[in-house]
Amino acid sequence: MTLETITPLAFKDKIKVNVYGVDGNVVGEIELPELFNVPIRRDLIRRAFLSAFTAMLQPKGRDPLAGKRTTAKYWGVGYGLARVPRLPNGTARFVVSTRKGHAAFPPRPDERIHEEVNKKERVMAIISALAATSRPELVRERGHVFTPSRLPVIIVDEAESGISKTIRVREYLEKIGLWSDVERSMDGIGIRAGRGKMRGRTYVEPRSILFIVSSYSVPLAKAVRNLPGVDIATPGNLSILHLAPGGVPGRLTVISMKALNEIASKYRVRPL
């Protein structure tokens, strides 16, 4: 889907970034596609994130008849008792404050927990979140630690196949100035507060670098998948959950040249 049928947008000058080779040295410079210049719509990004996040939640709720399967009935007036349904022995039933009564305000299975968002708004939110990855001030605002002055970090296609070991990834990230963000995520891992510890969510892990590669099967994707806080995405499944975790734009991103070209062809925009 393209944005040419949605709305034209006004752009600033094109953003130029460095291209890094397999050895970590700068091998050239390119101009980013027009989509990296669109305005940052925090409201759309937040709505799209909530829509994607709530879509993963499983509906839950009490049985509608919970606490109501009883033979208790209202006795009538003249007994000097509260006018609630009672069993023949006088035990109150059915109401919230009684034994075996139902919960006051339980979760409802028919409650709408998924926030809907229009398709065009979702696409615009993804493009806006992509544009936020090129704003160093927004990336630092998210808490990321990095050295390059121009973002996102673009790597040559040979790096996808030329880097196949995690130790090699560390050396590569140290050379281009991104390894400190992985260490930040590693230091931030801690035990979750609350009952989630008993539900398979014992640890919390801050988000670190997002690698956008051409395919999940490339050696680079397999080499970085176990690094703390690192996520992997392809142009085909790029989501607002990848680009703006928590609904906050400006994630530190590494994109291969092939993936960048695919993104540019998928999300085309037209200036005024």
pLDDT band of 65, cuts 50, 70, 90? confident
Based on the domain organization, do 153 and 259 belong to the same domain?
A: yes
pTM for this model (two decimals) = 0.86
Are 210 and 220 within 8 A, CB to CB?
no
Based on the domain organization, do 49 and 174 belong to the same domain?
A: yes
- Of 69, 97, 113, the one marking the end of a domain is 113
- Of 98, 113, 128, the one marking the end of a domain is 113
Average of per-residue pLDDT across 101-123: 91
The answer to whether residue 272 is domain-embedded is no
Q: How many domains does the chain have?
A: 2
The answer to whether residue 73 is domain-embedded is yes
Based on the domain organization, do 90 and 224 belong to the same domain?
A: no
Based on the domain organization, do 211 and 90 belong to the same domain?
A: no
The answer to whether residue 21 is domain-embedded is yes
Distance between CA atoms of residues 140 and 207, nearest Å: 13
Strand, coil or helix: what is 19?
strand
Are 271 and 38 within 8 A, CB to CB?
no
Based on the domain organization, do 85 and 211 belong to the same domain?
A: no
pLDDT digits (tens, 9 = 90+) for 4-55: 334 445 456 789 999 999 999 999 999 999 999 999 999 999 999 999 999 9
Nearest Cα neighbor of 75 from 59, 92, 52, 95 is 92
Based on the domain organization, do 159 and 129 belong to the same domain?
A: yes
Handedness of CA 242, 245, 247, 249 (dihedral sign): negative
The answer to whether residue 68 is domain-embedded is yes
Nearest Cα neighbor of 133 from 265, 270, 254, 11 is 254
Q: Which residue has the tokens 């000058």?
A: 13
Determine the pLDDT at residue 98: 86
CATH of the domain at 232: 3.40.1370.10
Average of per-residue pLDDT across 91-119: 89
Range of the domain at 179: 3-57+116-266
Nearest Cα neighbor of 130 from 151, 116, 150 is 151
- Of 94, 113, 132, the one marking the end of a domain is 113
Based on the domain organization, do 105 and 133 belong to the same domain?
A: no
Determine the pLDDT at residue 36: 94
Residue 252: both structure tokens together: 């530190």
The answer to whether residue 174 is domain-embedded is yes
pLDDT digits (tens, 9 = 90+) for 205-240: 999 999 999 999 999 999 999 999 999 999 999 999
Based on the domain organization, do 182 and 72 belong to the same domain?
A: no
Least confident of 67-81, 127-141, 205-219: 67-81
When comparing pLDDT for 223 and 58, which is higher?
Answer: 223
Based on the domain organization, do 177 and 87 belong to the same domain?
A: no
Residues 6+ apart with CB under 8 A from 267: 2, 3, 35, 123, 126, 127, 130
Based on the domain organization, do 53 and 99 belong to the same domain?
A: no
Based on the domain organization, do 212 and 98 belong to the same domain?
A: no
Based on the domain organization, do 132 and 18 belong to the same domain?
A: yes
Handedness of CA 133, 134, 138, 139 (dihedral sign): positive
The answer to whether residue 271 is domain-embedded is no
Handedness of CA 257, 258, 259, 264 (dihedral sign): positive
Are 236 and 258 within 8 A, CB to CB?
no
